[in-house]
Amino acid sequence: MGSYRVCMCFRRKFRVVEAEPPEDVKEAFKKYAEGGTHMTAEQLRRFLLESQSDGSVTLSDAERIVEQVLQKRHHIAKFTRHNLTLDDFHHFLFSTDLNAPIGSQVHQDMNAPLSHYFIYTGHNSYLTGNQLSSDCSDVPVIKALKRGVRVIELDIWPDSTKADVHVLHGRTLTTPVELIKCLRSIKEHAFSASPYPVIITLEDHLTPDLQAKVAQMVTQTFQDILFYPKSECLQEFPSPEELKYRIIISTKPPKEYLEAKGSEDKENNIQKGKDSDDDVWGEEPSNITADHENNDKSDSEGSEVDEDGEENNDCRPIGAPAYKHLISIHAGKPKGGFKDALKVEPNKVRRLSLSEQALEKATASHGTDVVRFTQKNFLRIYPKGTRFNSSNYKPLIGWTHGAQMVAFNMQGYGRYLWLMHGMFRANGGCGYVKKPDFLMNVGPNNQVFNPRVKLPVKKTLKVKVYMGDGWHLDFKQTHFDLYSPPDFYARVGIAGVPGDEVMKKTKTKEDKWTPVWNEEFQFPLTVPELALLRVEVHEYDLSEKDDFAGQTCLPISELKPGIRAVPLFNRKGEMFCSARLLMRFEFV
């Protein structure tokens, strides 16, 4: 009998009580149903038009919503009624697929040059886990492409026989994968999530004959979808629209290999003697292996700046022309400091790569030069070499200065990766987000945006967090607490320019699977164009660390006003089936 009582008590404690619609939902229903008990499709249309600011909604859209809600809630095949009760209306508002917080269509102008967009960029895209010992594989490449990532990075090295090309993280214990396997997977999955171009950045450690082999592999694999520039150096890059369903190659032209090899000793001596130059480029001696790892890094990814201008064609090997012909976005190595590296050349577009530390140094002393450089040229930022665990850095510094390719370890977790996911939910998730006009504008005295200048508040976002639901369907009953329902609280805030960043928190609701908070927050924004709304839910735990219960990150420029259902995601950024929040967004 005792055990039966425990069981009953246990069941009672875990019973999920459906929370009733928030007051604002009841008010809206009352207003638009004109005091009646049911809301017609026409009344729903008026609500969507006026309260949700959905200017394009038609009567047939509203009728379709009514139909879907009734089908989902009541499984009515033959419709006896064509209107919604208060509970139906609440169900509609709380449905992430019918009432999402942002749109799912590409809506930005896609006809500007490629350098006018932030591009969804991966780093070491072939690694399955950490940077030192995880396997190399085409699986993470496929995953990234399916998520909408548009820049895939492959490190290419000779295999042990020097006869074939492997993809691996050099001088670490990562097991290699064949280049051809990665190329074929890219071809198969490149456009599964987006029709816009995929850029392959090659980190090249090959001999000239292997470069010729790569040229052959790339041309045979991609054939007519490979984009070739009409001239050796483009003055301006074509648009994402013109480059739909195309593959673009970006790396250093092959002469770099010969010059680097020919003067390797000289270079090593210079590197050892000239600390100041290393310092400028943010190079850190790696503690993974001996010093040659560091020299190698600076010879490859460390600090690429293109200085193709001084092309020495006489030393180009046989086989290199075919390889060189593939390269559309030229990268290179720096001579001198930031000032030279950030020179804008009138007749060519190039790519510069900086480590996260080098970017911080560059922006501290040459912030507006960086912005000016990125108006035409590509800037790629990559994680510092010491992030062995595939963690990431703060992406906003790069974006605020116009960097198109903020390269991330997509196989990691963490808040910075959530921001990256959030940024690229914009523009229908197509992997290209148009840079705000202020990053592209040049003033009458040739001045550009200065990220260091404190700006006035442009607009204020009001966010109301009504309630949450769905955890009891996504988690085991005892996941958060062995003996009672969870105690949820929400954190809501802004990621953006330093002046806009803030996090706020609701009260904790005890013992509720469907917590009702009804709390409102205000966020004054100076640069709303680059701001992201951060939302996290945690379960309060007295004795240990609070449990994670979901997160999302949404671009504020895309938020739809009104009462919205906000889906939540797990730590890896995968959407939960049911856990979601009901929120209201308002701009004042």
**Contact between 554 and 425 (Cβ < 8 Å):** yes
b/e burial code for range 390-410 (CB count within 10 A of at least 16 → b) = bbbbebbbbbbbbbbbbbbbb
Question: What single-letter DSSP state applies at residue 164?
Answer: S
Task: Show the CA angle centred on residue 461, arms to residues 457 and 467, nearest 5°.
Answer: 155
* 399 φψ region: left (φ > 0), alpha (ψ -120 to 50), beta (else): alpha
**Contact between 143 and 409 (Cβ < 8 Å):** no
CA dihedral 561, 562, 568, 572 (to 10 degrees): 0
The DSSP annotation for 235-299 comes to: SSPPPTTTTTT-EEEEE--THHHHHHHHTHHHHHHHHHH-HHHHHHTT----SSS-HHHHHHHHH
For residue 482, with 0-12 CB atoms within 10 Å meaning exposed, 13-18 middle and 19 or more buried, which class applies? exposed
Helix H or strand E segment including 182: helix 179-189
Strands (E) in 68-224, as ranges, are: 83-84, 117-122, 151-158, 165-167, 177-178, 198-204
Please provide residue 117's backbone torsions phi and psi, each rounded to the nearest 5 degrees.
-125, 145
**Contact between 132 and 388 (Cβ < 8 Å):** yes
**Contact between 338 and 362 (Cβ < 8 Å):** yes
Strand partners, 152: 200
Query: How far, in Å, CA of 416 to CA of 408, rounded?
Result: 9
Query: How far, in Å, CA of 332 to CA of 341, rounded?
Result: 10
As annotated, the active-site residues are 123, 169
Query: How far, in Å, CA of 563 to CA of 560, rounded?
Result: 9
